[in-house]
Amino acid sequence: MKILLVASTTEEIATTIDYLEQHWDKKNFWEFTKGEHSITTLITGIGSVYVSFALARMKEIDQYDFIVNPGIGVANSRIIDLNRVYLVTEEGFADIGLEEADGTFSNQHDLMWIDANKYPFLKSKLKPKKIHNPTYLPTCSSVTVNKVPGTYDNIEVFQKKHHVDMLSLDGAAVMYSCIMLDIELIQFMVSTRYVEPWQKETGEVELALNQLNMRAIDILKELTTSN
């Protein structure tokens, strides 16, 4: 089995990389092997453009059986527990479009730049054909933004438009690529804060990263022992 472990930053998966270095054979700087299995790590940078470019440069990317994509998001719904890891089952692009004169926002589908049901979209959303959840994580919906709203007015406009659980800075780019390339995706996120007027990070980032890496390691173990 070939797995591509994709993260925006090294810090997000540092503990997972430590695990691989201790328990797997290191083939080169970014690839680990064990028996017939291989795990390749890819650090993309934060944002959809960087993710898309990094994935486009991967040789023979369509040969991977799974892309595993852990990350840190922002909770848009109060039903989301902070520092708990959720599997993403639905994504979308939030802010490709136009701001209207009354302050509302029309996205690429509202403006008919792209049909809301043109593949790979379904009702403006990206949804993988198969949802693989090997460790039975709770699930969430997400939307990818270029800017997390940070004022009361912008938050109100955003939440009237997007009824999703989480916000990501690049998740939709990964999901779009996986659907188009027919690669199974396991995408999961943890949040340390809710969408609210922005202040310096006060969440328990270390706790969130610990939870994220624990789940990442569990998923990699499950994939490479049951197949």
All structural domains of the chain, each given as residue ranges with its CATH number in brackets, are 2-225 (3.40.50.1580)
- Per residue in 172-207, pLDDT (tens digit) is 999 999 999 999 999 999 999 999 987 665 567 999
Taking residue 1's Cβ as centre, other Cβ atoms within 10 Å add up to 14
What is the structure's pLDDT at 103?
81
What is the structure's pLDDT at 227?
52
* Residue 83 in this model has a pLDDT that exceeds 60: yes
Q: Kind of pairing, strands 184-194 and 86-90? A: antiparallel
Mean of pLDDT over the chain: 93
Residue range 26-44: mean pLDDT, rounded: 94
Contacts of residue 104, Cβ cutoff 8 Å, sequence gap at least 6: 157, 160, 161
24/14 Cα distance (integer angstroms): 15
Residue range 14-29: mean pLDDT, rounded: 94
- Per residue in 102-134, pLDDT (tens digit) is 888 898 998 999 999 999 999 999 999 888 898
Name the strand (E) or helix (H) holding 140: strand 139-144
- Per residue in 201-213, pLDDT (tens digit) is 556 799 999 999 9
Cα–Cα distances (Å) from 28 to 31, 32, 65, 214, 226, in that order, read 5, 7, 20, 24, 25
